[in-house]
Structure 1
Amino acid sequence: MSRTALITGAGRRFGYELAHALLDEGYTVYAHYNTSKGGVEELEKRGAIPIQADFSNNAEIAAMVKQLQQSIESLDILVNNASCFFNNDTIDDDDDKLDAVYQVHAIAPYRLITGLQLALAAAEDGLVINITDIYVERPSVDYIAYCSAKAALANMTLSFAKVLAPEIRVNAIQPGPILFLPEHQDEYRRSVLSETPLTVEGGLEPMIETVKFFRDNRFLTGESIKVDGGRALKI
C-alpha cells in the first residue's frame, strides 16, 4: 500500500523539494498551499494532490481538515512547514499579520494534528514533523511574534509526543541558514555565514535528510534537531 504524506506550505522552497523527494519514493503526497500555486502545479503533474487553505482563516483550516478526514484512511507523515515571517514594525502596524503569525505556526498545526490523529494512528508508524526555528530558544528581538509563535510549536511538539505515544511519533526540525531568499543582499549573506561555524549555506538536502532520519529511526519522539551549520551556537 502506498505511503501517504501531507506537507503544508508545499508550493515553494523546502516544502516543494520535500514533496518531490517523497514522490520519488512512491508516496501519495497531499501538497498544501495558500497562494503559491505555481510550485504545486508542478507537483500535481507528478501526481501530488493539491489542497488549498488560508491558515489565517479558521474556517478554511476546518474545511481542509474535514476534506482530509474524508480522503485519507491513514497518514504516514504530516509535515507542518507552512510559515509567515514578519518583523515587529510590520506586526505593530497590521493586526491581521499578528493574527496570521500565530494562526499559521500554532493554531493550524494544532488543528491538523488533532484532526488527523486517527489517520496518523492508522499508519504503521504515524509521524508528525514540525518545522520550528533555531530562534525558539534564543529569540530575535526584531521578530518577537514570529519567534514566540514558533516557540509555541516547539512546546506543542513535546506535548503531543507525550500524549500521542506510542501510536504516533512527534518531532521537530530547527532550521538555520538553509537557503537565502533572492532579496537577501551579499552583505547580509556574508554576515549570517560569518556567524555560522560551518560557514556555508546549507541548502535543502540536509533538511530532507533529517525528515528521512526521523522517519527511519522509530525510537525517536519528542526530539528536535537543529539543521543550522552550528549557527545556534553563536546567536
Structure 2
Amino acid sequence: MSAAPILITGGAQRLGRHCAERLCDDGHPVIISYRRERPALDALRERGVITLPADFSSEAGIRDFITRLRDTTDALRAIVHNASDWLPDTLGEEAGANFEQLFRVHMLAPYLINLEAHDLLEACGEPLRDIVHMTDYVAAHGSRKHLAYAASKAGLENLTLSFAARYAPTIQVNAIAPAMIMLGEDDDEAYAEKARAKSALGTIPGPGVVYESLRYLLDSRYMTGVTLPLDGGRHLR
C-alpha cells in the first residue's frame, strides 16, 4: 500500500469505477476525475475517494483539472488514464469537431497530465511509480466503423512508448488494450451473443480482468513501454 494516491481519470463509472473500488479494497488512497455528477460518486466519496470534476474537451479544461489536482495532492503513486469518449464518424463540420474531441480526451489530456504531473510521481517516495494508458483493441487493428476513435486510441498507444522512454528508469509507462470487457446497459442478449463470438474464449469477462491487469502492471518492477492485450483471443479470429 502506498501513502500517495493513485489517480484514475474517468473513474465514476464502468471500468474506472471498478478499479477505483478495488484499489480502495486493497488499501490504496484514490483520486478520480469525473465528467458529470452521478449517484455512484456519493458511494465512492463515502469510501474516501477524492472526486475532482474535469472537462477534457478543451485544453483550458485539462489545465484547470491539473491545477486542481496539484492543489489536492503533492504526490502520486500512479496515473491511470481511463477517461474515454465514443463519437461516431460523420460527414460535414461535425466530423472535424468529433475528431478533435476524441483527440483531446484520448491524447491531449494524457499528454499534458503526464508532463505537468511528472513531479508528483517523482515525489511519491515509493520505489514503484506508474503511468497506465487504457487504449483499445482497435488501436492496433483499426476500425471500419469508428475511424476517429481508433486513430486517437492508437495515438495514446504511441504515447505509451514515448513516455516510457522519456521517464525511464524512475517511472514505468504501460498500456492495457481491452476488447469487449462488459456490456452496456442497453445491450440485449442478441448483441451479447454476437460479442462473445468475436473472441476465441467466447466470453464477456467483466471488469475484474481489467483490474487484474492493472494490478499486474502496478506490481511489476521490470516492465515499461508495453501494451497488454486483453481481448480473449479476439486477434485469433
Task: Provide TM-score, normalisation by structure 2.
Answer: 0.93
Amino acid aligned to 1:142? K
Matched residue of 2:190: which SS?
A: helix
Deviation, 1:82, is 0.5
Matched residue of 2:39: which SS?
A: helix
Cα distance in 1 between the residues matched to 2:177 and 2:222: 19
Cα distance in 2 between the residues matched to 1:91 and 1:31: 35
Q: Structure 1's 174 and 36: CA in aligned 2 closer, same or farther, altered over 3 A?
A: farther
Cα distance in 1 between the residues matched to 2:92 and 2:164: 31
**8 A Cα contact 1:98 1:145, kept in partner:** yes
Instruction: Report the more deviating stretch, 186-195 or 87-96.
Output: 87-96
**8 A Cα contact 2:7 2:32, kept in partner:** yes
Amino acid aligned to 1:87? P
Cα distance in 2 between the residues matched to 1:135 and 1:102: 15
Q: Which runs of 4+ in 1 moved over 6 A?
A: none
C-alpha deviations, 1:107-131, integer Å up to 9, x for none?
0011111110011122222100000
Equivalent positions of 1:160-175 (< 5 A) are 160-175=163-178
Cα distance in 2 between the residues matched to 1:136 and 1:98: 15
Deviation, 1:222, is 0.5
Cα distance in 1 between the residues matched to 2:210 and 2:37: 20
Residue number among 133, 141, 147 corresponding to 1:130 in the alignment: 133
Q: Structure 1's 90 and 116: CA in aligned 2 closer, same or farther, altered over 3 A?
A: farther
Amino acid aligned to 1:83? S
Show the counterpart of 2:106.
Answer: 105
Matched residue of 2:30: which SS?
A: strand
Show the counterpart of 1:224.
Answer: 227
C-alpha deviations, 1:35-78, integer Å up to 9, x for none?
15322221011111110111002112101111222332221110
Amino acid aligned to 1:166? P
Cα distance in 1 between the residues matched to 2:165 and 2:18: 30
Alignment pair present for 1:184 and 2:187? yes
Cα distance in 1 between the residues matched to 2:198 and 2:142: 16
Over aligned residues, Cα RMSD in angstroms?
A: 1.6
Amino acid aligned to 1:151? A
Deviation, 1:91, is 8.5
Deviation, 1:25, is 1.8
Amino acid aligned to 2:26? E
Equivalent positions of 1:138-157 (< 5 A) are 138-157=141-160
Alignment pair present for 1:33 and 2:52? no
**8 A Cα contact 2:55 2:65, kept in partner:** no
Q: Which runs of 5+ in 2 are unaligned?
A: none
**8 A Cα contact 1:2 1:26, kept in partner:** no
Task: Provide TM-score, normalisation by structure 1.
Answer: 0.94
Cα distance in 2 between the residues matched to 1:36 and 1:153: 26
Matched residue of 2:132: which SS?
A: strand
The total of aligned residue pairs comes to: 234
